[in-house]
Amino acid sequence: MGVRENLRDRRPNGSDDANQTDEGGGSVVYTVQRVGAVVVALVLLTFGLLGFADGLAYFSTDGGEVAGLSSNGLLSTISVVTALVLVVTAFLGPRPVSNVMLVIGALFLISALANLAVLEGDLNLLAFSMANVIFSICAGLVLLTLGAYGRISGNLPADSPYREDTGPEVSPEDLDPQLPQTPAEEAAERDMRQAELAVVEHRATAEQQRRVDAMAKVRTRADRRRVWMSSDRTSLT
Q: How far apart are CA 94 and CA 160, in angstroms?
A: 9
Residues 137 and 33 in one domain: yes
Enumerate the H helices of 156-220 as residue ranges: 183-200, 206-215
Residues 35 and 141 in one domain: yes
* 2 in a structural domain: no
* 61 in a structural domain: yes
* 158 in a structural domain: no
**Residue 7 confidence (pLDDT):** 41
* 94 in a structural domain: yes
Q: Could you give the maximum distance between any two Cα atoms of the chain, in Å?
A: 105
Residues 62 and 144 in one domain: yes
Q: What is the pLDDT of residues 72-120, one digit of tens each?
A: 999 999 999 999 999 999 988 888 999 999 999 999 999 999 999 998 8
Residue 82's domain comprises 17-148
Residues 38 and 124 in one domain: yes
Q: What is the pTM of this model?
A: 0.58
* 40 in a structural domain: yes
Instruction: Specify which residues 193 forms β-bridges with.
Output: none
* 50 in a structural domain: yes
**Residue 161 confidence (pLDDT):** 65
CB atoms within 10 A of CB 206: 7
Residues 25 and 126 in one domain: yes
Residues 43 and 130 in one domain: yes
* 59 in a structural domain: yes
**Residue 200 confidence (pLDDT):** 86
**Mean of the per-residue pLDDT values of the chain:** 80
